[in-house]
Amino acid sequence: MTQAVKTPVYLDYHATTPVDPRVFEAMQRYFCAEFGNAASSEHRFGWVAESAVKQARQRIASLIGAQRVAEIIFTSGATESNNLAILGAMRANAHKGDHLISVVTEHKAVLDPCHWWRQQGGRVTLLPVAEDGLIDLAALEAAIDERTVLISVMAANNEIGVLQDIAAIGALAKQRGVLFHSDAAQAAGKIPLDMEAMGLDLCSFSAHKFYGPKGVGALYVRRRNPRVRLAPLLFGGGHEQGLRSGTLNVPGIVGMAEALALAVAEMDEEAARLTALRERLWRHLAAGLEDLTLNGHKTKRLPGNLHVSVADVEPEKLLTAVKDLALSSRSACTSASQEPSHVMAALGLDEQRLQAAVRFGLGRFTSEAEVDYAAARMVSMVAQLRRENTVAQHS
């Protein structure tokens, strides 16, 4: 008998995460009591805000293996960070080349800047992936030419959870003298990240993916070996070393640093717990459902990610039927689209698997009871929908 759980059960942690109460506690004073502008240098309110930002910058730099505190540039989130990294690097280094390399399964926050660069006359190579979602490093190396400026490959896929070999890509980029950027929105706080060890020159982060607040993120920008030059996208005040003008979100920045510190400190234990929950969910689903397939690499994936295809069931109907489960069939940024997921399409799957995808995102507050409840509900509703389909086909 499945233990009673509070519904709806949230299983969409890739879309966003709740702010951890410990993070909220760290942020509170900077909303009302210490509300100063970090750029106000003539009084105590500004000094306190500036000090809070400085401490947060130091914490984040240390947590991601950055060598210098100034390599952390605060932004509104990973979308802005990706745009600044890609377009900023391509525009600032246009005298060196016009070629950009990325991957077909990237988030739209990377693919759309790539498309824009192509529209401006630049060259863009989008690498394919194998059925498991991984790129071929030999194909990446073959794509690099003398006019290649930047390689952008996400650390962890937001739909299928697949982990690319970032360290190997970084080593290749260094060997060929090409800048390397990674969208680490889904990876930060869940898997170890080290900018220096992984050979990263640029890396994007978003606080709300690791139990921090929405609307704040960061871009790591290497300052030595090489010193990365970027052209800014926003102007007006010269904040963040001239790379990102705008009044700093002090409470958000404090919350981001606290959230990342907690996630890194608890990473090993949490990864083991989520992996066990994920495997438990998979076992229950596989035991109760026929024609169930796992999408993406079996082991090189985020601990809390389970992405499956359920044959003979339309995912929209299934997700509507299980309103007591918060699930998704694709990225939150594209969930309103009726087109098949570009990530799923890139895996080369047959039409049935392509159209029948469901993403489970497990997180910090997911319990065994919730996993068991979700599995039971899915098995029950899939059986019901399949019976209805059979009746409709024979009527």
Tokens of 59: 């914490």
The active-site residue out of 32, 114, 203, 333 is 333
- Using alpha carbons, select from 24, 48, 28, 20 the residue that is nearest to residue 36: 48
What crossing angle do the helices spanning 250-265 and 267-288 adopt, rounded to 10°?
Answer: 70
**Rounded Cα distance, 319 and 311, in Å:** 14
**Rounded Cα distance, 239 and 24, in Å:** 25
Q: Is 32 a catalytic residue?
A: no
**Rounded Cα distance, 106 and 342, in Å:** 9
Q: Would you call 41 exposed, middle or buried from its count of C-beta atoms within 10 A (0-12, 13-18, 19+)?
A: exposed
Vertex 156 angle, CA 256 and 187, to 5°: 25
Torsion angle defined by CA atoms of residues 102, 107, 110 and 115, in that order, rounded to the nearest 10 degrees: 80
**Rounded Cα distance, 36 and 12, in Å:** 35
**Rounded Cα distance, 153 and 115, in Å:** 15
> Cis bond leading into 226, ω under 30°?
yes
What crossing angle do the helices spanning 44-63 and 250-265 adopt, rounded to 10°?
Answer: 30
Q: Within 13 Å of residue 197, how many CA atoms lie on the same side as its CB?
A: 7
Using DSSP bridges, classify how beta strands 202-206 and 179-183 pair: parallel, antiparallel or unpaired.
Answer: parallel
Cβ neighbours, 10 Å, residue 157: 29
**Rounded Cα distance, 39 and 380, in Å:** 57
Active site residues: 333
